[in-house]
Amino acid sequence: MVGILTYGVYIPRYRIKVQEIARVWGGNAEDITGGLGVYEKSVPDMDEDTATIAVEAARHALARRKVDPEEIGAVYVGSESHPYAVKPTACTVGEAIGATPHMTAADFEFACKAGTAAIQTCMGLVQSGIVPIGLAIGSDVAQGAPGDALEYTAAAGGAAFLIGNNDPIAVIHRTCSFTTDTPDFWRREGQDYPRHGGRFTGDPGYFRHVQGAAKILLSQVGTSPGDYTYAVFHQPNAKFPRRVAQLLGFSDAQIRPGLVVSRLGNTYSGSSMVGLAATLDVASAGDRIFVTSFGSGAGSDSFDIQVTDAIESPDLFRRAAAPTVEELLKDPVYLDYAQYAIHKGKIVMQR
Amino acid sequence: MSVARFWRKIPQRYNLIGTRCETCGTYFFPPRSFCPACRREGKIVEHRFQGRGKVVTYTVIRSASEQFERLTPYILAIVQLDEGPRFTAQVVAEPGEIQIGTQVRSVFRRIGADGESGVIHYGTKFVPVR
Amino acid sequence: MRDVAVIGIGCTPFGEHWGSSFRDLFIQAGALALEDAGLSGEQIDALYVGNMSAGRFIEQEHIGALIADYSGMATRHIPATRVEAACASGGLSFRQAVIAVASGMEDVVVAAGVEKMTDVGTGASVDMLAGAADREWEGFVGATFPGLYAMIATDYMHRYPLTREQLAMVAVKNHFNGARNPIAQFRQEITVETVLRSPLVADPLRLFDCSPITDGAAAVVVAPLERAREFTDRFVRVRASAQASDTISLHDRADISRLDASVAAGRWALSDAGLSHRDIDLVEVHDCFTIAEICAIEDLGFCRKGEAGRLTEEGVTALDGDLPVNTSGGLKACGHPVGATGIKQICEVVQQLRGEAGKRQVPDAEIGMTHNVGGTGATVAVHILEVV
């Protein structure tokens, strides 16, 4: 049965508080944190980017389980901030984990759901027997234009999932998607920052697609929200996932372990995947997890996942061999706005 | 650094692939294809280092070349890998966190790039084992 | 093997010479040396020039030919050779000239050193100087030259009783001497405060622990000792010439705080000369950074490891001390046009031995030593000169 063999997460150490960003742009911090439910977001170090984050996440996944890198037959990295427009992040990751040269690779883009699309592709390759193991990564150093609402939440981080057939720690029973051509949020080639349709990103964007995919999956599998131990939804802020959970019939308790956006921000392609990782960090054998991502443009991927005994078998999987999401969120180093701007390359130096 | 010159050393820079002289048992990182002790008698094989080690000496670089100016102040250290060899690398940490003897582990970071439009150079830096 | 003498010396002022090109500098030094030797040029049989990086600083290679040409030697078609060993280029240039004469291959040979550093910006200079270290495994990961010596300082100060103030005193002493040297780049005296207040470059080294970027050239003329009197009576004898190598990168050294090439070259020079440390009246060492002088004094064997700081504090290495070190002002105060330094050191010792060092004269100087280092110690050249 195809499923997750192991997973890993990487979150940079630096943070900036929403309050500090608000101070600079003359916003009201309380209104903003109240409205978004986000208090701080992660910021990459000066020498970190989507590729370094992807590699660290992948290496963390490999630390937890004995996997022969030469068995990894496919590497896909989903991101909105690939370091190169042409030259795949996946190749750098493949090289850094020892999977090259006998592998296929490509970079994915589908706003915040590029990583989950990569998971689906790996599932297909594994289930069809084309590759024994596939690596799917969602990683971003998200950018928000200075002074734009997105700046409060655009964060940095990533998660890596190894997909395979042998003794997965969590089986993926089923996946399905809901995809349309919806211009809720986009970035044109050559532009530094994305743009968005304001309130249009809500109902026609996020809510339509998340609910669309979720309802298809529930109906295909024949389950209802109560059948799941946990649920993870894409988290651009804390409000949207809470609201969509409620609309679908999931409880606050179900989404709580996976809801890390308040302290992390929106890691874009990493968002749902880090949420899933945070959930797996506390899950036990038998737990059932419902995941639905969302990527602007727009689409959602839903997954019905069930944790197996393997997650509790130390000879197969050792969670403690790599940091959990909680451990990565601990002991941050705070930056002020000027330092943050330098880290994010927002200050144009002499070209 | 030219494209070919960087590419040639990717296994070393990304994955700490060094060498070992099977004749005398010495480990080399950066790799040597010729053992200084055994010379022509030395049988050299590849060896992948684990990436764990300790700081032997260090400094905080505050004035750097153009490539690295944005990163200053940064810590430069000589790290001794557990397997024995010593080599030079940046340590990502606050200046006060590092001392002679601090245990460190390898991380994958961006070393630099060939300008705004050239190839990005990735490689290995270290962080203190916390 | 014949004995070799230095029959003439010449040195341009060291500093930022915006109006002088690379060619202007060596012509000036060459002319001074020839004049000092009483030569008109036809007597020169060969030419050696030490230069680290003209290829990068002024995009010019083939320096030997360039210098021969612009010194008016090209028409005589004498052999002209460029010698490179980073900051030890000058010392090696001198050694090659000595070997050529000692072997009988040539008679009258010019050994020069020249560096034009200010035609590029400081940032570019810093990057070029990093080429003295291991570009692939030190420079590429962000090591700077001061950074490498700073790592030596960190290691040294962890193991030996050197205080930050003692280290500063090396620079203070060298500025005191430089103030008395007409060609020195820096002629102002400084205090320990000056050093400790200057900005950090690479902890623990501060701006005033570091030698500057300098333009300059120096030249000497060597000849067989048996013929020296044909040219001048102000000649001195080359008592010993030694050169040693070590690993290019600092991380491959047996001991980070000990330059084994200095140990080897120092030992060989003294043993070839049949001299002991007590016989040396003064020594010009390679103080590219203050810590380098500390290590040099010890590695050359003048005292045990860990003692040079105390010796400096006690004034033993001062101009009026038992072992004056860097009477020229060293690299720190006199300046460090990379390829020229090794030759300038020879010029300084010759002046001292001749009794022509003016306000920096060491009384009764009879035997002097020079110590020139390339990179963080991968090449060292040591010479001993004596009054005849």
pLDDT at C293: 98
pLDDT in tens, A196-241: 999 999 999 999 999 999 999 999 999 999 999 999 999 999 999 9
CA distance C323 to C303: 11
For domain C4-121+214-236, the CATH superfamily is Thiolase/Chalcone synthase (3.40.47.10)
What is the tally of structural domains in chain B?
A: 1
The 10 Å Cβ neighbour count of residue A154 is 27
Residue A350 pLDDT exceeds 80: no
Q: What is the DSSP letter of B94?
A: -
pLDDT in tens, A21-45: 999 999 999 999 999 999 999 999 9
Average confidence (pLDDT) over C197-223: 97
Closest chain B residue by Cα to residue A323 = B130
Write down the catalytic residue from C17, C175, C286, C336: C336
Residue C57 pLDDT exceeds 90: no
The 10 Å Cβ neighbour count of residue C361 is 17
* Cβ of residue B61 closer than 8 Å to a chain C Cβ: yes
- Looking at the complex, report in whole angstroms how far the Cα of residue B67 sits from the nearest Cα belonging to chain C: 8
Model confidence band, residue A351 (pLDDT cutoffs 50, 70, 90): low
Test C142 with B76 for CB contact under 8 angstroms: yes
* Cβ of residue B109 closer than 8 Å to a chain A Cβ: yes
CA distance A188 to A297: 12
Residue A164 pLDDT exceeds 70: yes
**Edge-to-edge strand order for the sheet containing C4-11?**
C80-83, C46-50, C109-115, C216-224, C4-11, C236-245, C379-387, C367-374, C282-284
Test A47 with B125 for CB contact under 8 angstroms: yes
Mutate to test the interface with B, among C136, C140, C247 (most CBs of B within 10 A): C140
Closest chain A residue by Cα to residue B111 = A47
pLDDT at A215: 98
C336 classed as catalytic: yes
Closest chain C residue by Cα to residue B109 = C141
Domains, chain A, in order of start with CATH, read 3-169+320-343 (3.40.47.10), 171-310 (3.40.47.10)
C113 DSSP β-pair partners: C50, C218
Residue A92 pLDDT exceeds 70: yes
Model confidence band, residue C123 (pLDDT cutoffs 50, 70, 90): confident
Q: At what angle do helices C164-178 and C290-299 cross, to 10 degrees?
A: 90
Q: Which pair of tokens denotes residue B54?
A: 């300790």
CA distance C41 to C54: 25
Write down the catalytic residue from A112, A122, A151, A343: A112
Question: Do the bridges between strand A40-43 and strand A14-17 make them parallel or antiparallel, or are there none, so unpaired?
Answer: antiparallel
Residue C126 pLDDT exceeds 90: no
Write down the catalytic residue from C87, C210, C295, C347: C87
Test A52 with B15 for CB contact under 8 angstroms: no
- Looking at the complex, report in whole angstroms how far the Cα of residue B33 sits from the nearest Cα belonging to chain A: 22
Model confidence band, residue C71 (pLDDT cutoffs 50, 70, 90): confident
- Kindly list the residues from chain C whose CB atom is less than 8 angstroms away from the CB atom of residue B56: 155, 256
Q: How far is CA C232 from CA A58, C6, C225, C353, in A?
A: 75, 10, 11, 15
pLDDT at A311: 97
Chain A (165-204) residues lying within 8 Å, Cβ to Cβ, of chain B: none
pLDDT at C308: 98
* Fold agreement between C4-121+214-236 and C131-212+239-387: yes
CA distance A197 to A205: 9
pLDDT in tens, C301-347: 999 999 999 999 999 999 999 999 999 999 999 999 999 999 999 99
Test C142 with B63 for CB contact under 8 angstroms: no
Q: Is the peptide bond before A145 cis (omega within 30 degrees of 0)?
A: no
With beta carbons less than 8 A apart as the criterion, state whether A194 and A187 touch.
yes
Q: What is the mean pLDDT of chain C?
A: 96
Average confidence (pLDDT) over B36-60: 97
* Cβ of residue C19 closer than 8 Å to a chain B Cβ: no
Of A243, A332, A348, nearest to A42 (Cα)? A332
Mind giving me the DSSP string for C201-238? EETTEEGGGB----BEEEEEEEEEGGGGGGT-S--EEE
Residues with Cβ < 8 Å from C30, sequence gap 6 or more? C10, C67, C71, C110, C112, C217, C219
Residue A309 pLDDT exceeds 80: yes
Model confidence band, residue C148 (pLDDT cutoffs 50, 70, 90): very high
- Looking at the complex, report in whole angstroms how far the Cα of residue B130 sits from the nearest Cα belonging to chain C: 23
Model confidence band, residue B2 (pLDDT cutoffs 50, 70, 90): confident
- Which 3-state string (H, E, C) describes chain A? CCEEEEEEEECCCEEEEHHHHHHHHCCCHHHHHHHHCCCEEEECCCCCCHHHHHHHHHHHHHHHCCCCHHHEEEEEEECCCCCCCCCCHHHHHHHHCCCCCCCEEEEECECECHHHHHHHHHHHHHHCCCCCEEEEEEEEECCCCCCCHHHHCECEEEEEEEEECCCCCEEEEEEEEEEEEECCEECCCCCCCCEECHHHHHHHHHHHHHHHHHHHHHHHHCCCHHHCCEEEECCCCCHHHHHHHHHHCCCHHHHCCCCCHHHHCECHHHHHHHHHHHHHCCCCCCCEEEEECCECEEEEEEEEEEECHHHHCCCCCCHHHCCCHHHHHCCCEECCHHHHHHHCCCCCCCC
CA distance B6 to A172: 40
Higher pLDDT, C57 or A307: A307
Query: Tokens 């395979």, residue?
Result: A164
The domain segmentation of chain C, as residue ranges, is 4-121+214-236, 131-212+239-387
- Looking at the complex, report in whole angstroms how far the Cα of residue B43 sits from the nearest Cα belonging to chain C: 20
Test A83 with B92 for CB contact under 8 angstroms: no
pLDDT in tens, C19-31: 999 999 999 999 9
* Cβ of residue B91 closer than 8 Å to a chain A Cβ: no
Residues with Cβ < 8 Å from A341, sequence gap 6 or more? A146, A347
pLDDT in tens, A107-123: 999 999 999 999 999 99
pLDDT in tens, A140-155: 999 888 999 999 999 9
C-alpha atoms less than 13 angstroms from C-alpha of B67 in its C-beta half-sphere: 22
* Cβ of residue B47 closer than 8 Å to a chain A Cβ: no
Q: Which of C126, C203, C251 sits opposite B88 (nearest CB)?
A: C251
CA distance C56 to A207: 61
Rg of chain C (C-alpha set): 19
Average confidence (pLDDT) over A161-186: 97
Q: Which of B70, B71, B122 sits opposite A51 (nearest CB)?
A: B122
Test A52 with B92 for CB contact under 8 angstroms: no
With beta carbons less than 8 A apart as the criterion, state whether A51 and A93 touch.
yes
A70 classed as catalytic: no
- Kindly list the residues from chain B whose CB atom is less than 8 angstroms away from the CB atom of residue A46: 70-71
Residue C74 pLDDT exceeds 90: no
* Cβ of residue C201 closer than 8 Å to a chain B Cβ: yes
The predicted complex's ipTM stands at 0.95
- Kindly list the residues from chain C whose CB atom is less than 8 angstroms away from the CB atom of residue B72: none
Q: What is the CATH number of the domain that holds B83?
A: 2.40.50.840
The 10 Å Cβ neighbour count of residue B29 is 24
Residue type (1 letter), A266: N
Of A321, A279, A304, A283, nearest to A1 (Cα)? A304
- Looking at the complex, report in whole angstroms how far the Cα of residue C127 sits from the nearest Cα belonging to chain B: 5
Residue A161 pLDDT exceeds 70: yes
- Looking at the complex, report in whole angstroms how far the Cα of residue B10 sits from the nearest Cα belonging to chain A: 8
Residue type (1 letter), C129: L
Domain hosting B57: range is 3-128
Residues with Cβ < 8 Å from C237, sequence gap 6 or more? C3, C4, C5, C225, C385, C386, C387, C388
pLDDT in tens, B74-117: 999 999 999 999 999 999 999 889 999 999 999 999 999 998 89
Residue C261 pLDDT exceeds 70: yes
**Edge-to-edge strand order for the sheet containing B27-28?**
B27-28, B17-21, B44-48
Closest chain B residue by Cα to residue C159 = B100
CA distance C277 to C275: 7
* Cβ of residue C157 closer than 8 Å to a chain B Cβ: no
CA distance A291 to A274: 11
CATH architecture of C131-212+239-387: 3-Layer(aba) Sandwich (3.40)
